[in-house]
C-alpha cells in the first residue's frame, strides 16, 4: 500500500490579485530551486515532478488542494520524492504560512481533503480557466507573450542619469511576475584575459552583425589591450550559482545594480536561459534592478562593486546615514 505524505492548502486560494501574486512567486521560487533538476518538467499548465506518484503544481493556484505522493517503497526511495515534498513545502510555508497544512500517514495524519476532491482538482490542471477575465488574456506564467495591445510594454531600455542605460518599467510589474527571459548571445569560461581574448574574437565572428553590435555596445570597465574580455568581465552573468561560465545577454546586461534590488535573476540550466523576476511590485517609471554582489556589509560590498564594475553605489540603501547603514548591515548579516 505504501505511506502517503504531503501538504494541503487550507483554505484553497481564491482568484484575488493577492493570491495570484503569491502563487506566481511560489511557482517561480520552485522553478528556481529545481532549475538544474531533471526531475522537474514544465508542462503547459503545471509543474510536474517525475518522482513517486508524479506530484504536480498548477499555474492556476486557485485549483490547488494537495501536493503529495507515496514516500515509502522502492520507487519512492530511489527517486527521492520525500525530499522534494519537504523542499516544496518549505518554500510554500515561507509564502503561505499557516495556510499550509502538512501531513504524514505514518503519524496517523491523513490531510484535510478527501481524495475524491483532490483528484478532481488535479484533473482540472489540464484546462486553463484564467485567474480572472483579464488573466485569461495575459497570464505571464501560462502565456508570457500574450498581452492586450493597449498595454504599454513591461519595460523599456532608457538612459539613466549617472548609470548609462537601464531598464525602466513601462507598466506595473507585480511581485513574482516574469519580466524577461533571454538566451545568451555569447558564453565564455572565466579565464585570464590573455587566453579569453582570442576565444571571444573567434566567437564574435560567428555572430550576426546585430549581435556583434549588441556585444560591442556594452560598457567596458577594463579598457586596454583586451577589450573583448573586458566587456565580458564587466557584463557577464554567471550561468548558475558558483558557475565558472558567464554569459552576455542583449537586454539583461543593461539591468543596473542595487543593493536593495526589486528583481532577481536566475539561470535555467535545462533551457539555457536567464530569467528576471520581480521580487516586489515595480511601479511604472521605476528602474528595474538586480543585485550584482552576493551580500555582506557595505564596508566590503561597496569596494567590491567599485573594483569590479567601476562605480560607487548610490542606491537607496548605500545613501543611508552612517548610523542607519550600520543597522542595515547588522540586519543583513543576521538574515544571511
Neighbours of 79 (CB within 10 A): 18
Model confidence over 137-192: pLDDT tens digits?
344 444 444 333 446 788 999 999 888 899 999 988 888 888 888 999 999 998 88
Average per-residue pLDDT for the chain: 86
81-96 and 17-33 helices, crossing angle to 10°: 140
Q: Is the pLDDT of residue 96 over 70?
A: yes
Model confidence over 264-275: pLDDT tens digits?
998 888 778 899
- DSSP code per residue over 128-152: ---SSTTHHHH-TTT-TT---TTSP
Give the residue-averaged pLDDT of 233-240. Answer: 88
In the Cβ-directed half-sphere of 22, how many Cα atoms lie within 13 Å?
Answer: 19
Predicted local confidence at residue 141, as pLDDT? 42
Q: Is the pLDDT of residue 335 over 50?
A: yes
Nearest one of 287, 239, 285, 247 to 263, comparing CA atoms: 287
pTM: 0.55
Predicted local confidence at residue 140, as pLDDT? 42
Q: Is the pLDDT of residue 64 over 60?
A: yes
Q: How confident is the model at residue 57 (pLDDT cuts 50, 70, 90)?
A: very high
Q: Specify which residues 4 forms β-bridges with.
A: 70
Neighbours of 14 (CB within 10 A): 12
CA-to-CA distance for 50 and 59, rounded, in angstroms?
A: 17
Model confidence over 287-313: pLDDT tens digits?
999 998 767 788 888 898 888 787 888
Predicted local confidence at residue 148, as pLDDT? 39
Q: Is the pLDDT of residue 314 over 70?
A: yes
Domains within the chain, CATH numbers bracketed: 4-138 (no CATH), 155-335 (2.170.270.10)
Give the residue-averaged pLDDT of 12-23. Answer: 91
* Contact in structure between 249 and 260 (CB atoms under 8 Å): no
Predicted local confidence at residue 332, as pLDDT? 67
Amino acid at each position: 500500500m505504501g505511506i502517503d505524505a504531503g501538504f494541503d492548502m487550507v483554505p484553497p486560494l481564491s482568484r484575488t490579485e493577492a493570491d495570484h501574486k503569491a502563487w506566481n512567486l511560489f511557482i517561480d521560487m520552485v522553478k528556481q530551486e529545481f532549475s538544474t533538476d531533471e526531475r522537474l518538467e514544465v508542462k503547459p499548465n503545471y509543474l510536474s515532478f517525475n518522482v513517486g506518484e508524479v506530484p504536480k503544481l498548477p499555474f492556476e493556484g486557485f485549483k490547488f488542494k494537495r501536493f503529495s505522493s507515496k514516500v515509502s517503497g522502492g520507487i519512492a526511495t530511489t527517486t527521492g520524492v520525500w525530499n522534494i515534498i519537504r523542499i516544496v513545502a518549505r518554500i510554500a510555508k515561507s509564502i503561505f504560512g499557516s495556510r499550509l497544512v502538512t501531513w504524514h500517514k505514518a503519524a496517523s495524519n491523513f490531510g484535510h481533503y478527501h481524495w475524491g476532491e483532490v483528484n478532481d482538482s488535479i484533473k482540472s490542471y489540464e484546462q486553463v480557466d484564467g485567474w480572472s477575465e483579464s488573466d485569461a488574456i495575459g497570464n505571464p506564467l501560462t502565456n508570457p507573450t500574450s498581452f492586450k495591445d493597449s498595454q504599454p510594454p513591461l519595460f523599456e531600455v532608457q538612459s539613466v542619469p549617472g548609470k548609462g542605460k537601464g531598464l525602466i518599467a513601462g507598466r506595473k510589474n507585480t511581485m513574482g511576475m516574469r519580466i524577461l527571459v533571454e538566451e545568451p548571445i555569447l558564453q565564455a569560461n572565466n579565464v585570464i584575459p590573455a587566453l579569453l581574448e582570442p576565444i571571444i574574437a573567434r566567437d564574435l565572428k560567428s555572430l550576426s552583425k546585430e549581435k556583434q553590435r549588441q556585444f560591442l555596445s556594452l560598457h567596458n570597465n577594463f579598457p586596454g589591450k583586451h577589450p573583448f574580455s573586458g566587456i565580458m568581465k564587466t557584463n557577464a552573468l554567471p550561468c548558475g550559482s558558483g558557475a565558472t561560465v558567464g554569459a552576455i545577454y542583449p537586454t539583461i546586461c543593461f539591468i543596473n545594480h542595487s543593493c536593495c534590488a526589486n528583481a532577481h535573476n536566475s539561470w535555467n540550466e535545462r533551457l539555457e536561459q536567464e530569467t528576471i523576476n520581480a521580487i516586489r511590485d515595480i511601479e511604472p517609471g521605476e528602474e528595474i534592478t538586480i543585485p550584482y554582489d552576493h551580500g555582506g556589509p557595505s564596508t566590503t560590498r561597496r569596494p567590491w562593486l567599485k573594483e569590479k564594475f567601476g562605480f560607487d553605489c548610490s542606491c537607496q540603501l548605500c545613501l543611508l546615514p552612517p548610523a542607519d547603514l550600520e543597522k542595515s548591515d547588522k540586519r543583513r548579516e543576521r538574515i544571511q
